Structure 1
Amino acid sequence: MSNIPSPRRPIRIGNCSGAAVDPGDIMYEQAVSGPIDVITGDYLAEANLAQAAEAYAEGKHPGWVASAWDGLQKSLRVVAERRIKVVINGGALNPKGLAVQCAEEARRLGLEDQLTIAWVEGDDLLPDVREILRPDAQSGRLPHLDAENSNVKLADDTASFLDDPENKKIVAANAYLGSRAIRAGLDAGADIIICGRVADASPVMGAAAWWHGWSDDGGDFDRLAGALVAGHLIECSYYVTGGNFAGFDEYDIGRDLLGLGCPIAEVDAGGACVITKHETLRGVITEEMVKCQLLYELQGNMYLNSDVNADLTHVAVCQVGKDRVHVSGTRGRPPPPTTKLAVFYRGGYQGEHTVNAVGYATPQKYDLLEAQVRNQLKKWKCEQEIDVLEFQRVGVAQTNPRSQLAATTYLRIFVQAATADAVRRVSAAWAYNFMQHFPGMGGTLDWRLIMNPVPFLGYFPAVVRQDRLHESVNLLESGGATSAATTTRRIGVRAPKVTEPLAPRLSYDPVAPRSLDTFGPTAMVPLGDGANVNVGFTPRARLRRDEDMWQWLRAFLTRDRVKQMMGEDWPRDDLYYIERVEFPELHAVHFVIYGALGRGVSSSARLDCLGKGFAEFLRAVHVPVPRRFLEAKNGATSRL
């Protein structure tokens, strides 16, 4: 029987973290700044677990996220006093260890009779990962996340680590768990639940399902999908209160954007939610900010999760008050029989070095340096030892510069290789030709910073069947971890009762678009004035209700148009692939570009390794925008 409060008002769930660097102060801040039922936190990016995996295995790292432990220490007394539930994934590699540590702290504070602490386990599949990664016997395909998509071209070396288990040892393999164990723990009376690699939105989904008593056998898929969207909207801490917001320049920095507070999702019994915050905390929540976060890190119109698949085609947002935005229209489908498995392995070594050039003939200067390095490596016959060598040109010198800095750009030399010595050969080749440098070459001369080889991790996004997971929630009872009377109650969690195979992703250009000529004269302005990477486009707030603006946006932003806008970043061999979908209620067009981040965050050669700057790049590209959309109410030029 679910422990469901009555009446079933909307549950208030406050987020306290979107990354491991978010300080523990936020958890305490959410607990004391106003009414709250549950505090959730997402501390894990894809590479977090793997970066500490070997140190944890050697006993040199506790396995959990330090800021999560800091938040718990600061908040235990107040969450006990106010009966606030806490569900976080800060347990990382060692959720049991953090739960035990938390229970010991509760006993030290005299709270052992007031707090039941639990942990979720079952995500760590390292002992079985090589068995899981065997190719399918019938198709011969590896269980790669994108293997079923025939349009996606995987890099030739995607699975090369499987053939070299000694040098490319797998160090971490963690499945993305859903919300079912969290729900079971809350049903059983847990007050604090420490998780490892659960999906980012799982804590919110588990809390909402517990509060409202939803089932997971198909009857409440729409509700679960709504909670998935609510979790997605608040999981990235400040991203929905002013952080990472494309329209930040329309706000006063000192008044609106400094010292932001984290958001709250009020999830009702139907799965719809209101995104808000404590009144006493700073920040701004508008339709535009919610749209910006909603379109962030999507996979198209279907948001995949191991509990439910959320169809976002007709999701709608509406401002219903100051710092209150209502989100509705999500539809749920049965989850897939599989879930994501993040596999990390030793990739080798990498290094980088930047060289500055000033002013005149910069392209030719960089041509000379690159030719010198490559020629020297060829003479030494060591080119074959280097896996990746790129000379990335960053910035454009200002014409008629007003300062030397305005005339300065830099060349980023990036290298990856199996050995540290091979990386050092690149810096040696540069040094060998140092005094033949182009005029005005600059940069650091501190050799501790020049091409210092560091180990990096390769990433393989796999899938694993949910029915082979051994997921459970474990409750510490009878007063804490080291008490003689302590027992652990384990509650196993089964795979979803109802699943359905993944359907091919939708990808389409606009259906029956209006001719671009019908929108009138244009002006060339930046569009922003108006692993895989994704980007969504939606008009600025002042234009979002203009139907003609939406019709122009959907007609203009085709897959070929985005390819053109990417310019030299689109590979000549067409290795990338673009998917496009529309969200008509949001007046938004969304794209996923497969392959743009190479092998993923932990090993990407891209300067923008997280892909966070990709949308800002496209917003800066000049395109022909109808002049009538650029006229603001006061007659001044307005941005889209």
Structure 2
Amino acid sequence: MTSIGRTADVLRVGNCSGFYGDRFSAMREMLEGGDLDVLTGDYLAELTMLILARDRAKDPSTGYAKTYLRQVEDCLGLAMERGVTLVANAGGVNPEGLATALVETAKKLGLSPRIGYVAGDDLTSRAGELELGEPLAAHAYLGAFGIAEGLRAGADVLITGRVTDASVIIGPAIAHFDWQRTDFDALAGATAAGHIIECGTQATGGNYSFFEEVGEMIRPGFPIAEIHDDGTSVITKHEGTGGAVTTDTVLAQLLYEIGDARYPGPDVTMRLDQVKVAQVGPDRVSLSGARGEAPPADVKVSCNALGGFRNEMVFVLTGLDIEAKAALVRRQFEDALQVQPAQVTWDLARTEHPDADTEQAATALLSVVARDSDERKVGRAFSNAAVEIALGSIPGFHVTTPPTRGQAYGVFTPGYVPQSAPDHHVVLPDGTRVTIDAPTQTQHVEPLTGEDATLPEAPTGETERAPLGAVCGARSGDKGGSANIGVWARSDAAFAWMVNTLTVSRLQELLPETASLTVRRTVLPTMRSVNFVVDGILGEGVAYNARFDPQAKGLGEWLRSRYVDVPKTLLQEAK
């Protein structure tokens, strides 16, 4: 076996990208900042896959993250000099195309890296036979064993298409420690580490409830996982970089985009309710206790389709009589529309303040969104109607943008196929094609919410009205058309209060937008956390733009801002 680590017992895996568009300089910063064995990057999301699929439909040679190609052009020599292996899912919908482009780039640089790629995730041409409908793109979330095979063969650069986000971290650990398919605990531990660092600086203070405690946040450092042969790890970052690695920054990321306590992946089902997080030094947090179970028999498929066309206009309402002004604008606009789109939705954001000392602070926003399969019905005729009423409408009438054409929007639908359905394979640096067999040991993954566990008794005593965020942190994100809200307490007493107070019905009271939706709660005592999944709040996915916050990034912070009766002892403790 080819080892990719400097030492046998620890593998240092860094990350330099959490999405397509992340900090360009991060690859160089990570390579120059200190020792690494592997540098990974996550460039894919559901919306990104749709964008890349549309790119490739226009030009078959594209469909990958071009940013990564430029980053490697800048840093390949440095990576090879330092002996750092590069692994990224930047291949998007065309990993072979990116691998080919990297080979050409290396030749121009006078370098000869060994480059391989993982493919087989693309099920688009087989979508019908696999009962996935007729999407523009259908890509299975592959696991990490193809990555491991490429690294065992000595790849200096290993490119993938759609794999699970954590797979780019798990794969190097499989190769280095020679883990097998049934090493479930070790695989689960690496999954936890991968889940934390794959979103980049979200693990080092970014998107973090208590950001004012972090310190220097101009350029947070990107995270590193020091993975051990039993799957335990330490999350850290390069010395001297911004941000921080604390139990809370790590907990926040563990709660990001999860469901219940069983976190299924193509290689292992991780038990989140077993994970323990501990501060073991400055900017060093250990992950232990992860337990793994067999993976599900099916693998998830990202199905993206064009849902139709969309247009939006936003009216600015200033000063007094906001609701009356909104009602008049709506009546006038609907009268001016010559063609009726299939769907028209209105939203009034009451952002104005009484007796405001700036015009902007005295302003509310009224938006109207149209959707239709016929581009003409949401085109210039729609947005022109918003302008045509201008001189005969409310006082102070104006809009935020000029009339525009409609834009295509996407719809995400998760699909599931047997683990054996994708043609999972890796093309090694010498051109050899190696098929990656599906796991033979699988299970039906039953939901695990922890609601039947014995919960701690809530503290009693005098209470005070205060924001939930005075004693709890939160992290939220999108899960297809649903969203998750992970909430964690900062002490045992605060958890005992939170877990008894923040029930599903209480959440729906605090967040009225969720009241008509199905909400599921999971209790995670080892992390002093609860997680909520709100089904359908994002409509048909991120690209659908169903609400003001289409990726549910701020949903957790909205929850933290709501006032509840908090025991005074907890408020004193939090100061």
- 1:200-254 alpha-carbon deviations (Å, 9 max, x no partner): 00010001111111111x2x101000000100100011111121111112344xx
- 2:75 corresponds to which residue? 75
Question: Conserved in 2, the CA contact under 8 Å of 1:23 and 1:67?
Answer: no
CA change 1:586–1:513 in 2 (3 A) is: closer
CA change 1:44–1:5 in 2 (3 A) is: closer
Tell me, yes or no, if structure 1 residue 294 matches structure 2 residue 238: no
- 2:509 corresponds to which residue? 564
Tell me, yes or no, if structure 1 residue 470 matches structure 2 residue 423: yes
Deviation of 1:529 (Å): 2.1
Distance in 1 between the 2:225 and 2:88 partners?
16
Code of the aligned partner of 1:15: N
Code of the aligned partner of 1:47: L
Distance in 1 between the 2:280 and 2:329 partners?
58
Question: Conserved in 2, the CA contact under 8 Å of 1:475 and 1:489?
Answer: yes
SS across alignment from 1:257: coil
Deviation of 1:467 (Å): 0.6
- 1:248 corresponds to which residue? 211
Tell me, yes or no, if structure 1 residue 456 matches structure 2 residue 409: yes
Deviation of 1:282 (Å): 2.1
SS across alignment from 1:630: helix
Question: Conserved in 2, the CA contact under 8 Å of 1:472 and 1:492?
Answer: yes
Question: Conserved in 2, the CA contact under 8 Å of 1:299 and 1:592?
Answer: yes
Distance in 1 between the 2:297 and 2:199 partners?
27
Deviation of 1:318 (Å): 0.7
Tell me, yes or no, if structure 1 residue 399 matches structure 2 residue 354: yes
- 1:394-445 alpha-carbon deviations (Å, 9 max, x no partner): 2432132122221112112111111122113543443454344222223246
Question: Conserved in 2, the CA contact under 8 Å of 1:507 and 1:579?
Answer: no
- 1:141 corresponds to which residue? none
Structure 1 segments (4+ residues) deviating >6 Å: none
Distance in 2 between the 1:30 and 1:4 partners?
17
Q: Report percent identity of matched pairs.
A: 34
- 2:111 corresponds to which residue? 111
**TM-score, L = length of structure 1:** 0.84
- 1:226 corresponds to which residue? 189
Distance in 2 between the 1:393 and 1:275 partners?
43
The residue correspondences of 1:487-502 to structure 2 (distance < 5 A) are 488-502=431-445
CA change 1:394–1:299 in 2 (3 A) is: same
CA change 1:326–1:237 in 2 (3 A) is: same
Code of the aligned partner of 2:514: W
CA change 1:261–1:6 in 2 (3 A) is: closer
- 1:7-38 alpha-carbon deviations (Å, 9 max, x no partner): 52210000010011024421122122111000
Distance in 2 between the 1:129 and 1:117 partners?
30
Deviation of 1:623 (Å): 1.2
Tell me, yes or no, if structure 1 residue 33 matches structure 2 residue 8: no
- 1:434-476 alpha-carbon deviations (Å, 9 max, x no partner): 344222223246334xxx3011112211111111111111023
Structure 1 unaligned residues grouped into runs of 5+ = 135-161, 163-168, 478-487
- 1:285-343 alpha-carbon deviations (Å, 9 max, x no partner): 11111111111111121111100010010211111111101111111010011111111
Deviation of 1:605 (Å): 2.0
Code of the aligned partner of 2:464: A
Question: Conserved in 2, the CA contact under 8 Å of 1:298 and 1:534?
Answer: yes
**TM-score, L = length of structure 2:** 0.94
Tell me, yes or no, if structure 1 residue 179 matches structure 2 residue 144: yes
Q: Number of paired residues?
A: 565
Distance in 1 between the 2:426 and 2:524 partners?
37
The residue correspondences of 1:372-521 to structure 2 (distance < 5 A) are 372-377=332-337, 382-383=339-340, 385-387=341-343, 389-424=344-379, 425-444=381-400, 446-448=402-404, 452-477=405-430, 488-506=431-449, 508=451, 511=454, 514=457, 519-521=460-462
Tell me, yes or no, if structure 1 residue 626 matches structure 2 residue 567: yes
* Superposed CA RMSD: 2.1
CA change 1:65–1:109 in 2 (3 A) is: same
Q: Single out whichever of 119-128 and 18-27 deviates more from structure 2.
A: 18-27
Deviation of 1:259 (Å): 1.5
Aligned residue among 159, 168, 177 for 1:212: 177
CA change 1:58–1:398 in 2 (3 A) is: closer
- 1:56-86 alpha-carbon deviations (Å, 9 max, x no partner): 1332762210111111111211221122111
SS across alignment from 1:238: helix
SS across alignment from 1:606: coil
Distance in 2 between the 1:111 and 1:429 partners?
58
Question: Conserved in 2, the CA contact under 8 Å of 1:386 and 1:423?
Answer: no
